[in-house]
Chains A and B, each alone.
Chain A
């Protein structure tokens, strides 16, 4: 009955174990991270040609280009992260573990969020370098953190569902994008506010919206997650 004692042991320990498992697996294969990073750079390249990112357009579209990049690269990461669990029956193994199901959810959210943030932290200096704008502003980093939390929170829930369907990876963006629009909208608005040197009060409104979205959707996902992994 050693398992019983762990189940009574702390919830945080279980979350940390899931995160640690993902980080270690990723550290060994580097599949997910490298795919997301290269994909992000390719998207920026495409935007470069599609929008003719000269000095004038750049100022108005930087926030939009950044968030489109993060959104597309994010689905790639979410899909892969859940597909790995599903393919080799790891998800069943995880579900057999005598821990609360929501611990698995939070573990996956944190590891997905971590991969997203690492990719974003590499994309930012590259973008700054290519287009000589300084993206390392504390306000922007805060917006990126809040936006990524909401994105990963909803994305993890929906990716868990989409990998269990027949259409699998093509379904995730279709499910995710329409419900994650408030995040993208508020994040783009806040980011362009920060980059355009707007007043703190103007940025506060979309920031509040991001925080509200994060809280509401993570709470809902936490409550319903059990329903999407039950067999």
Chain B
């Protein structure tokens, strides 16, 4: 087995460090006047959401590249991106729910963003169920890519479709929806904590993504060795 590349080891450590710093900055950022402590959830909520969406988009792009090139490397990348994103997005939803309880007085509402988030989670959960049911690696990659593509196209359409109704989700960055509930403006300290959280989660995402790709390589090797033994 090859040892972990040095760059990846460094990135592992960096990921832990930036997470700690981001936590410290979020906890020390000024309190928001109306919502108080619970607003701190926001830094990590947006951080995980941004990286999760990035991963889903990457998954869609990799699936197109795979379908064109038929190189299994892209399939590994796609699985890695979607798997990490699935976890991050779940964290986003849970954090959002924790925030929504005091801010909106409910754990959940059928707002476009929330509904689309739930459906997106279900799409990618289905993606892994599909992959699990197929043994042949080529076919698994082809079906996975096709489904990831269909899912990546369908999620924005779902969002748009539900958006035909009104939304109460606040748009903190560059948005003024008079009906949004729980919006606020940020002080410079809050902004720096916010941008650092985005940066931290990007690093963590890259680290996990890389580790997952490496895991995919190792999995492939194990499968080949098993085949060799059985022959």
Chain A interface residues (CB < 8 Å from chain B): 154, 157-158, 161-162, 164-168, 171, 174-175, 177-182, 185-186, 189, 205-206, 209, 212-213, 216-217, 220-221, 224, 227-228, 230
Name the one of A175, A216, A220 contacting B130, with C-beta atoms under 8 angstroms.
Answer: A175
Q: Are A161 and B154 in contact (CB under 8 A)?
A: no
User: Which residues of chain B have C-beta atoms less than 8 A from A217's C-beta?
Assistant: 150, 153-154
Contact between chains at B129 and A185 (CB < 8 Å): no
Q: Are B126 and A186 in contact (CB under 8 A)?
A: no
- Bound Cα distance A42, B154 (Å): 30
Q: Assess whether A175 is in contact with B126, with CB atoms less than 8 Å apart.
A: yes
Q: Across the interface, name the chain B residue whose C-beta is closest to A165.
A: B133
| B residues neighboring A (CB under 8 Å) | 67, 119, 122-123, 126, 129-130, 132-135, 139, 142-143, 145-147, 149-151, 153-154, 157-158, 160-162, 164
Q: List 17 A-B contacts (CB under 8 A).
A: A164-B134, A165-B133, A165-B134, A165-B143, A167-B132, A171-B129, A171-B133, A175-B147, A179-B151, A182-B157, A185-B161, A213-B157, A216-B153, A227-B143, A227-B145, A228-B142, A228-B146
Known contacts A206-B164, A213-B157, A228-B146, A164 near B151 by CB under 8 Å: no
Contact A220 to B139, CB < 8 A, known contacts A158-B147, A165-B133, A174-B129: no
The answer to whether A185 and B134 touch across the interface, beta carbons within 8 angstroms, is no
Would you call the interface of chain A mostly helix, strand, loop, or mixed? helix
Nearest-neighbor residue (CB-CB) of B124 within chain A: A178
Known: A171-B129, A205-B164. A164 touches B157 (CB 8 A): no
What residues of chain A lie closer than 8 Å to B133, measured between beta carbons? 165-168, 171
